[in-house]
């Protein structure tokens, strides 16, 4: 070995050492905390992705990094027809992450584009199965259905879809006007119901008050006096005070008694003057 090195010479030895150092430096790689390196050895995937941290790729190996962070995927607005034949324009957003880097590279050519396409088709499919009222009132259920469908399709790609949210639902102008009229009619109906309930409650209270006053006639007189006090506060120039019927009856009785007494005294006075 020593003789071979002597025959090669110092320049050749330095060149070989330099090549080995370059190969080692080229083989030395670093994967970030959110990255995993899928290594292909002679065209075949090794057992386990490498990283995070430093790892070595041999000259006959090839490494490809995969980002395992959550990706926000914007689903462009889609023209959909609901179950009750209403055309709406819907856009959404999906959140997913790679849980199996090897499958994400081997099972599908471009997992980002594939996930986007399956999200768009799943969105149109789910919207076509629900009615407009359900889409507007129970959006969380629609989101869950879309997320389940997408997740089932992307599972064998090593992609996990965590959340799908419908962002905006654009309705036709005619449908917006119809819904506005419906909402206005609904508000008017509630207002009339509340007013009727108030009238019923007031009638019940008045009925109970009338029963109390009927049991105690003096309460009616007190109510008259209270009404007079309330009217006087307003500084009116003329006050019309209702006269109680019982008082009028008593006054008529006094007038009749006075008339009877007068008629009784008048004949007796005439007889005395004749004598």
Average pLDDT rounded to a whole number, residues 245-272: 62
Percent of the chain scoring above 90 in pLDDT? 25
Compute CA 20 distance to the chain's CA centroid, rounded to the nearest angstrom.
64
The pLDDT of residue 68: 92
What is the torsion angle, in degrees rounded to the nearest 10, for the CA atoms of residue 150, residue 151, residue 157 and residue 159? 110
- The whole-angstrom separation of Cα 39 and Cα 66 is 11
- The whole-angstrom separation of Cα 55 and Cα 167 is 42
Query: Which residues 6+ apart lie within 8 Å of 108 measured at CB?
Result: 114, 157
* pLDDT tens digits for range 27-57: 888 889 999 999 998 888 887 888 888 888 8
For residue 146, give both structure tokens: 């879309």
One-character DSSP codes across 257-270: HHHHHHHHHHHHHH
The pLDDT of residue 2: 59
- The whole-angstrom separation of Cα 102 and Cα 41 is 13
- CATH superfamily for 71-171 is Band 7 domain (3.30.479.30)
Calculate the alpha carbon distances from 33 to 30, 60, 67, 263 in Å: 10, 25, 9, 124
Strand order in the sheet with 44-45: 44-45, 35-41, 61-67
The pLDDT of residue 176: 66
For residue 76, give both structure tokens: 């462009």
Least confident span in 3-7, 137-141, 196-200: 3-7
- The whole-angstrom separation of Cα 259 and Cα 266 is 11
Burial category of 115 from C-beta neighbours within 10 Å (exposed 0-12, middle 13-18, buried 19 and up): buried
The pLDDT of residue 225: 66
Pairwise pLDDT comparison (253 vs 209), residue with the higher score: 209
- The whole-angstrom separation of Cα 110 and Cα 210 is 83
Least confident span in 87-91, 187-191, 265-269: 265-269
Sign of the C-alpha dihedral, residues 143, 149, 153, 155?
A: positive
Average pLDDT value over all residues in the chain: 80
For residue 166, give both structure tokens: 């419908």
Pairwise pLDDT comparison (216 vs 97), residue with the higher score: 97
Q: Is 80 exceeded by the pLDDT of residue 232? A: no
Confidence grade of residue 5 (pLDDT, cut at 50, 70, 90): low
What does DSSP assign to residue 1? -
Confidence grade of residue 272 (pLDDT, cut at 50, 70, 90): very low
Query: Which residues 6+ apart lie within 8 Å of 42 measured at CB?
Result: 60
Peptide bond into 52 cis (omega under 30): yes
The kind and range of the H/E element at 3 are helix 2-8
Q: Is 50 exceeded by the pLDDT of residue 67? A: yes
Q: Is 50 exceeded by the pLDDT of residue 76? A: yes
* pLDDT tens digits for range 85-133: 888 889 999 999 999 999 999 999 999 999 999 999 999 999 988 888 8
Calculate the alpha carbon distances from 175 to 8, 132, 213 in Å: 88, 10, 57
The pLDDT of residue 164: 92
Pairwise pLDDT comparison (206 vs 9), residue with the higher score: 206
């Amino acid at each position: 070995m020593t003789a071979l090195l002597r025959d090669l010479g110092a320049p050749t030895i330095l060149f070989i050492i330099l090549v080995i150092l370059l190969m080692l430096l080229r083989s030395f790689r670093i994967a970030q905390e959110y990255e995993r390196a899928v290594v292909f050895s002679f065209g075949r995937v090794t057992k386990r992705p490498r990283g995070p941290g430093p790892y070595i790729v041999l000259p006959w190996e090839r490494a490809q990094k995969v980002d395992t962070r959550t990706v926000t995927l914007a689903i462009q607005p889609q023209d959909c027809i609901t179950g009750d034949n209403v055309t709406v324009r819907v856009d959404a957003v999906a959140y997913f992450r790679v849980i199996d880097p090897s499958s994400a590279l081997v099972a599908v050519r471009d997992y980002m584009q594939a996930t986007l396409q399956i999200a768009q088709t799943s969105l149109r499919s789910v919207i076509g199965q629900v009615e407009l009222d359900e889409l507007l009132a129970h959006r969380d259920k629609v989101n869950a259905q879309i997320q389940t469908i997408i997740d089932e399709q992307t599972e064998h790609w090593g992609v996990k879809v965590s959340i799908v949210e419908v962002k905006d639902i654009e309705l036709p102008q005619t449908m917006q006007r119809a819904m506005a009229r419906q909402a206005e009619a609904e508000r008017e109906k509630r207002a009339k119901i509340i007013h009727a309930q108030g009238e019923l409650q007031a009638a019940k209270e008045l009925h109970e008050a009338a029963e109390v006053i009927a049991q105690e006639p003096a309460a009616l007189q007190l109510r008259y006096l209270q009404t007079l006090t309330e009217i006087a506060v307003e500084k009116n120039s003329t006050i019309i005070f209702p006269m109680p019927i019982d008082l009028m009856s008593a006054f008529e009785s006094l007038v009749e008694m006075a008339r009877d007494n007068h008629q009784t005294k008048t004949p007796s006075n005439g007889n005395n003057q004749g004598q």
